[in-house]
Amino acid sequence: MTRGILPRVAMLSQFFILSPRGDAMVSKDFRRDLSRRTHETFYRLVRFWRDEDEAEADARALASEGGASTSATRGAPAAFHRDGVNYMHIKASGLYFVSTTTSNASPSAVLELMHRLARLVKDYCGALTEEAVRRNTTLVYELIDEAMDYGYAQTTSTEMLRERVCNEPVEVGNGLAGRLVSAKVDSTKIGAGALKAGQKVETMLKNNLGMKVHFPTKAAINLMNAASVASGVNRVSSGATQKSVVSGSSATTRDEIFVDIIEKVSVTFDSNGDVVTSEINGHIQVRNFLQGENTKVKVALSEDMTIGGKGAGGGSNYTGVILDDCNFHEVANLDHFDIDRTITLRPPTGEFSLMHYRSANDFTPPFRLLAVIDESIPYKVGVELKLYADFPANHTCTALVVTLPIPKTAIGATGRLPKHVASGAQHVMYDDADKQIVWQFKKLAGGSEHECSVQISLQTERIPNVRRAIGPLALSFQIPTLCASALCVRYLQVIDDASTSRHRDAPPRNPHRWIRYLTKSSSYVVRV
């Protein structure tokens, strides 16, 4: 199948992009066979979802003497039918991508189309946010017109649409970079060497554009420059890839490629701290801004990688990186993958997932959390929490949040940290609305141990089976530079076909290559 071309999708009647509040930021009515207020109907259905079985059960309960509605509100499915209309939607970055049709469309095909349209918007706008869509409404409409024809999907290839799209994006960014792009100012000329002239540029922007710009200090610039790696492959922050692919026509755009190995960890512990279930779901994400149509890329992965019991060279090898299964993007050339674990490809412009993989083999979970419950005090329950960071000390976890649900009948709860904890490093609070204790960390070094004491106030002297009313504990975190499966990129090589794409007297290319590792939580649960 040609890249970017979807299988034939049944005719769609409408397409919407809704804000988290239900506002229709983009609205396309292809067939004019449905009401223009369909998006409002969809948002009400999703916001207050009741399926037909629940509605009938509630009606029977209310009709009976003393009856009451007992069914709980559940989230709306990705595809559902109401009043002769088929609704199919995805939620990406808080935005709703919605399609409606009266025909018998394949939900999987339409949902795949929604995912591709969301990625297309991100590629061209630089970010998939409400602000980015609102500021690039004209561009988004042009993309939809090119990708869809009278309700039928045509192509969602970023590379193919690049030649047809005429509108320039308004890039949305934080800080100096985002403001300079919007003002059409060459941001490459503002750096460490321009600090002395910063006041003049700042005055110009303020007088002519009505904006105030704060330039970075030398210390900040030195700190950013220290992130580069001598090997030629650099580390990159999470927001470094937020740019539009259309900006590739600009002379200031660098010749670069980003490769991210992102893994989501799912672990369940029992009350003794033993692992019940564990799994890693990972993918290799590529964001390509390389110049030239004949550029090839070679990605070399861990040589000791074993997939389904089959190692490199075709033999059985159960040491090193062990994956249960994996799949690849259609642009991946795997002729040498079984021999030396290398992947060759001509990457399309924009963002795509090169490889998805799963591993359910034993690995060391990054965190262990133990909870000891004390019921000896009347009208109170004490919980002692001990957290162990079992990942290497040269890594730092960011945005760690531990949540401890408490009994719904509890009057309140308080959390206390040890006196030696530095101010601002940790924070513990009681969330009365959700009846839970929230323990937050700003940063957390590997190999460290931490404690927290919780006192729960009760209405009665005792709660039977209190362990069932407390927990389970849940952890949410991100650990940059860490790969839980130990999968790594040995090298990232950019190969330029000079015979067809470059003049023989042209200077040699030196594209920027960026590699990032990130481990985050998916479902990380500790039973009490």
Distance between start and end Cα atoms, the chain: 50
What 8-state DSSP symbol labels residue 3? T
CATH of 14-63+74-161, one of 3.40.50.2300, 3.30.450.60, 3.30.200.20, 3.40.50.720: 3.30.450.60
Q: How many CB atoms lie within 10 A of CB 471?
A: 20
In the prediction, which pLDDT does 65 show? Answer: 47
**CA 175 to chain CA centroid, nearest Å:** 22
CATH of 256-363+483-526, one of 2.130.10.10, 2.60.40.1180, 2.60.40.1170, 3.30.70.2190: 2.60.40.1170
Do domains 256-363+483-526 and 367-477 share one topology? The answer is yes
Handedness of CA 430, 432, 435, 441 (dihedral sign): negative
Q: How many CB atoms lie within 10 A of CB 205?
A: 17
Q: How far is CA 333 from CA 52, 263, 295, 330, 338, in A?
A: 48, 23, 14, 8, 11
**Packed helices 107-125 and 137-147: angle between N→C axes, nearest 10 degrees:** 140
DSSP SS3 for 447: coil
Q: What's the CATH code, domain 367-477?
A: 2.60.40.1170
Which tokens hold the place of 395?
């890594």
Domain coordinates in residue numbering, the chain = 14-63+74-161, 175-226, 256-363+483-526, 367-477
> For residues 113 and 115, what is the distance between their CA atoms, to the nearest angstrom?
5
Which tokens hold the place of 162?
């690049």
DSSP SS3 for 388: strand
- Who's near 120: CB < 8 A, 6+ residues apart? 143, 147, 156, 158, 161
- Who's near 288: CB < 8 A, 6+ residues apart? 257, 258, 297, 347, 348, 349, 350, 351, 352
Which tokens hold the place of 430?
């009681």
**CA 216 to chain CA centroid, nearest Å:** 28
In the prediction, which pLDDT does 252 show? Answer: 47
List per-residue pLDDT tens for the chain, 528 residues long. Answer: 444 555 556 689 999 999 988 888 999 998 888 988 898 899 989 988 866 555 555 555 555 544 444 444 467 899 999 989 999 999 998 899 999 999 888 898 899 999 999 999 988 888 888 888 988 888 899 899 988 888 888 888 887 888 788 888 887 754 333 333 333 333 333 343 443 444 444 454 444 444 444 444 444 444 444 443 333 445 444 444 566 666 644 444 678 999 999 999 999 998 888 999 999 999 999 999 888 777 899 999 999 999 886 555 544 445 689 999 899 999 999 999 999 999 999 998 888 899 999 998 888 999 999 999 988 888 889 999 999 999 999 999 988 999 999 988 888 999 999 988 888 889 999 998 888 999 999 899 999 999 999 999 988 887 777 778 888 999 999 999 999 999 999 999 998 765 444 555 566 678 899 999 999 998 899 988
Which tokens hold the place of 408?
């719904």
> Which residues on neighbouring strands pair with residue 307, listed in sequence order?
310, 323
Amino acid (1-letter code) at residue 227: A
pLDDT digit string (tens) for 355-414?
Answer: 999 998 888 999 999 999 988 888 889 999 999 999 999 999 988 999 999 988 888 999
